[in-house]
């Protein structure tokens, strides 16, 4: 996606519901349609519904990242692939950090792995404090250093790491892992088919599971931390001067299938972000898990004919 230097690209994550899902799932399409249809036809919703669709995109089914992550990277001007999304190197550059040229950057996130009927669900721990994060970092640090990996705190529960093991390491993004679970990811391939770097990290994950299982921090937590996730590897390409803003306020109600809360948050974002972006001539990209709609201000010829009959259901037609 190419944009002008002066235009801001607003990327709204989890604004489109999944498509082609079985009706028995908690993300069954009709529930999302009904939740948004129940909202009153506010000026903000009308403005979004009457905007012009300039592009549609669809990720491949086994993509290593979410749609909003790919859009964000493209808007930055990065020519990269979903499995080499250099978010860690980007974070390091923002902080003015450097590592030896033979090493690469990675993001290490503390996670809760939930094992259910042969499936492994990846969850972000809730209510993570800086104290808990620092205590776990201190416990984990010696094991990582032994494998040539250097950790430093970034945000509670997230560390920035560098080491030779991360150089050109293909990764599945944390967001994608939380959505699909580990069994749907290439990370669960047989050990014999894994690279030396993947085997090292799998061994380190096993060691951390044993360490974290008995750590005092977990005794007081409702949801224990029992593993970590590696993502964000890749070389940082030359970025453009495009300004990109990622809006993630819909994430929580979406992942928890809280359709009413999601619809209310959607309308609030339409008022606070989407309508102003369209009025200012900025790019607005609504993202689902695997597909996107690129919007600009202006009348779509179909919606123009429906204008006097407008209800939120017309918006629904173009968001599904």
Residue 69 in any domain: the answer is no
Q: Do 84 and 120 belong to one domain? A: yes
Residue 71 in any domain: the answer is no
Residue 214 in any domain: the answer is yes
Q: Do 144 and 51 belong to one domain? A: no
Give the pLDDT score at 98. 95
Between the alpha carbon of residue 162 and those of residues 69, 98, 115, 202, 294, the distances in Å are 22, 9, 29, 17, 35
Give the pLDDT score at 306. 41
Give the pLDDT score at 299. 59
Give the pLDDT score at 120. 83
Q: Do 203 and 255 belong to one domain? A: no
Write down which residue in 231, 251, 266 finishes a domain.
Answer: 231
| Nearest Cα residue to 112 out of 60, 183, 178 | 178
Residue 74 in any domain: the answer is no
Give the pLDDT score at 38. 80
Residue 3 in any domain: the answer is no
Q: Do 156 and 263 belong to one domain? A: no
Residue 272 in any domain: the answer is yes
Number of structural domains found in the chain: 2
Write down which residue in 231, 265, 297 finishes a domain.
Answer: 231
Give the pLDDT score at 181. 79
Give DSSP secondary structure letters for 26-72. Answer: TT-HHHHHHHHHTS---HHHHHHHTSEEEEEEE--TT-SS-HHHHHH
Q: Do 245 and 225 belong to one domain? A: no
Give the pLDDT score at 286. 94
Q: Do 41 and 101 belong to one domain? A: no
DSSP state of 274: I
Q: Do 50 and 112 belong to one domain? A: no
Q: What span, in angstroms and rounded, lies between the C-alpha atoms of 109 and 227? A: 9
Give the pLDDT score at 123. 87
Give the pLDDT score at 71. 94
Q: Which domain holds residue 101?
A: 80-231
Give the pLDDT score at 302. 45
C-alpha distance across the termini of the chain, in Å? 22
Residue 95 in any domain: the answer is yes
Contact status, residue 11 vs residue 245, Cβ threshold 8 Å: yes
Q: Do 84 and 148 belong to one domain? A: yes
Q: What span, in angstroms and rounded, lies between the C-alpha atoms of 117 and 106? A: 31
Residue 75 in any domain: the answer is no
Q: Do 163 and 283 belong to one domain? A: no
Q: What span, in angstroms and rounded, lies between the C-alpha atoms of 135 and 157? A: 10
Q: Do 126 and 186 belong to one domain? A: yes
Low-confidence ranges of the chain (pLDDT < 50): 1-4, 20-24, 26, 184-188, 301-314, 316-318, 320
Write down which residue in 231, 258, 280 finishes a domain.
Answer: 231
Q: Do 251 and 294 belong to one domain? A: yes
% of the chain residues with pLDDT over 70: 83
Contact status, residue 266 vs residue 286, Cβ threshold 8 Å: no
Q: Do 152 and 197 belong to one domain? A: yes
Q: Rg of the chain over CA atoms, in angstroms?
A: 21
Give the pLDDT score at 235. 92
């Amino acid at each position: 996606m190419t944009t002008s230097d002066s235009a801001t690209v607003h990327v709204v994550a989890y604004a489109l519901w999944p498509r082609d899902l079985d009706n028995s799932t908690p993300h069954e399409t009709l529930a999302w349609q009904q939740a948004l249809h129940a909202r009153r036809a506010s000026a903000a919703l009308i403005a979004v519904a009457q905007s012009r669709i300039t592009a549609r995109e669809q990720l491949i089914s086994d993509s290593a990242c979410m749609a909003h992550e790919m859009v964000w990277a493209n808007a930055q001007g990065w020519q990269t692939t979903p499995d080499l999304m250099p978010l860690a190197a980007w974070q390091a550059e923002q902080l003015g950090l450097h590592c030896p040229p033979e090493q690469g950057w990675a993001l290490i996130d503390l996670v809760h792995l939930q094992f259910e009927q042969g499936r492994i669900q990846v969850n972000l721990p809730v209510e993570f404090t800086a104290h808990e994060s620092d205590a776990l970092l201190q416990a984990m640090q010696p094991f990582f250093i032994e494998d040539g990996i250097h950790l430093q705190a970034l945000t509670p529960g997230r560390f920035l790491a560098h080491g030779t093991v991360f150089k050109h390491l293909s990764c599945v993004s944390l967001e994608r892992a939380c959505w699909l679970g580990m069994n749907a990811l290439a990370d669960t391939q047989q050990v014999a088919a894994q690279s030396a770097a993947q085997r090292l990290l799998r061994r380190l994950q096993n060691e951390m599971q044993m360490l974290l299982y008995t750590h005092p921090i977990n005794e007081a937590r409702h949801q224990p931390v029992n593993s970590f996730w590696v993502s964000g590897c890749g070389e940082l390409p030359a970025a453009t001067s495009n300004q990109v803003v990622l809006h993630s306020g819909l994430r929580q109600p979406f992942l928890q299938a809280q359709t009413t809360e999601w619809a209310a948050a959607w309308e609030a974002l339409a008022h606070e972000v989407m309508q102003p972006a369209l009025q200012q001539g900025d790019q607005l990209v609504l993202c689902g898990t695997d597909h996107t709609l690129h919007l600009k201000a202006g009348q779509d010829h179909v919606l123009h004919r429906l204008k006097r009959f407008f209800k939120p259901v017309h918006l629904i037609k173009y968001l599904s």
